Amino acid sequence: MLKTITLTLDVEKGGDRFATLDERIELRQGDALAYALEVSLREKSEVIDLTGKAVRFYCQLPDGAVAIDGGHVSVPSPQDGVIRYEIPPEITQTAGNIDMAYFRITDEDPGSHWSASTPNIPLSIRRGIAIKLRDGDYFPEFDAALADLEASRVAYEQAEDARQTAEAARATAEEARAAAELLRLTAEEGRGAAEAERLAAELVRDAAELDRLAAEEERGAAEEDRALAELARAEAEAYRRAKFAEIEELADGLLYYFCADGEYDPDTRHPIIAEPHAGTHYLTPASHPTANNHWDEWLWDAAGQRWEGYGSQDVVIDPMTVEQAQGIFDGDQAEGTEGEIVTRRILRWVLGKLDGLYAKLAHTHSGADLTDGTVTAAKLASGAVTQAKIADGSVSLAKCDTALRDSVSQIYKGQRIYANTNLNSLVSPGMYRCMLYADAASLSNTPVKWPFNLLVLDPIGGSGYCTQILAHNGGSGLVGLYIRAEYGGTWSEWKQL
């Protein structure tokens, strides 16, 4: 029967440790596996978790020998910190006191240096009775033991003979193994040399593969250059063939084709032909035909795949005559084709005409120039000043003179053009002027960016056909005269005269 001794041991060495063991545990000399120590390990009041821990029993026997035993130590409950040590016969074979005995706990992780030990467990091995047999003593159990011992000796000798025989066979086998190992090493040496040669050949093959890849890359780049060059050559060849075909068609002579309705765009006037002929002149009706220009002329650019217009394209410069200008001043607007352009010659004539009709701002008259000394109703605009206003003296000769000169001056100088004005909006006949450089810089649809005078002529009267004449003197020789016209709401480009 195995007797269990239950203990609680604290690894704390100080005075506040959880439990102490002051009395010796007594054992009998020769007891073998008769006692077991079941120990609960604590650190102060806390249970030591023994998961992943190793526990060994250390002691110094009464004869001075040292015992370190982990084989008889088990850990039945690691989480509860419980270990069990079954005391082997080696611990109890010598009588006396064991003053130094304890358990040591270490971490099974080889990288950890943690370690802890319990306090001493004092043991006392009480002496047993020595047995010495004499001749004639009756001890049948001992006689049986001697017979068993003799049988064991014979069996041992037989086993030793078998061991020696087996050892000789082992030695022979070892010699054969050594010879085979020598052969293996020789073969391995040959295999190593062959592997070295294979690796060297592999390096040569890799170097050749790198050279092949580099050459392939160069070939690919050269092929790409060749493909690009071929594409450029093909495009140049196509362009050359198109131009050659165009030259051949042109060499056949000029052909004319008059486009009917549906064969031209009514807005842009360019032809709409499915398969145009490069050597043919295509004519579409002009948007504003004149006596000398009924058609817009077009050629097909085969290389550029587009229509190329040439000729007047509805812009016909038909200069106005003096007779036509005089007719406008006389109130006759029926003469001409209504598309005439005012030239510098006509502009000078108009300015001279204005000088003859109106006095300049610096021109004045005194009251004495009125020979009869009075201002009658007939001398004023009809209804502008009544007889009553003249009779009571509210309208004097000086006031009429000032008002008349101011009106003529404003007509001669023109209306002011302010900043951010679009000249396309100035279509009412009359004189206009831009006075400031800052205003001129902000205007749109103007040919200049400095102050100027503008004359607007409308031969029809509010029908979308007018002429603008712009004159400027920017100083330092920047003198210029520009003209443009509006046809049905579309303005021509400014042209410098």
Q: What is the pTM of this model?
A: 0.31
In whole angstroms, give the CA distance from residue 42 to residue 10. 5
pLDDT of 249 reads: 61
Say how far apart CA 411 and CA 431 lie, in whole Å: 7
Residue 414: the pLDDT is 80
pLDDT tens string, the chain, 497 residues long: the values are 788 999 999 888 766 566 667 788 999 988 887 899 999 999 887 999 999 999 999 999 999 999 999 999 999 999 999 999 999 999 998 999 999 999 999 999 988 888 999 989 999 999 987 655 566 666 687 778 888 999 999 999 999 999 999 999 999 999 999 999 999 999 999 999 999 999 999 999 999 999 999 999 999 999 999 999 999 899 888 888 877 766 666 555 568 899 999 999 988 888 999 889 877 889 999 877 877 788 888 888 887 888 888 765 555 556 788 888 888 877 775 555 556 777 888 888 888 877 776 666 556 665 555 555 555 545 555 555 555 655 555 556 666 555 555 554 555 568 999 999 999 999 989 899 998 999 999 999 999 998 999 999 887 666 678 899 999 876 555 678 999 999 888 999 999 98
Cα 210 to Cα 218: distance, rounded to the nearest angstrom: 12
- How far lies 224's CA from each of 164, 227, 228, 231, in Å? 84, 5, 6, 10
Q: Give residue 393's pLDDT.
A: 57
In this predicted structure, what is the pLDDT of residue 309?
A: 84
Angle between helices 344-357 and 322-329 (to 10 degrees): 30
- Host H or E run for residue 480: strand 479-487
**Separation of CA 58 from chain center:** 71
SS3 sequence, 306-362? EEEEECCCCCCCEECCHHHHHHHHCCCCCCCCCCEECCHHHHHHHHHHHHHHCCCCC
State both tokens at 71.
């084989």
Residue 202's H or E segment, with its range, is helix 140-251
Contacts with 492 (C-beta within 8 Å, 6 or more apart), sequence order: 315, 484, 485, 486
pLDDT at residue number 271: 94
Between CA 465 and CA 477 the distance in angstroms is 33
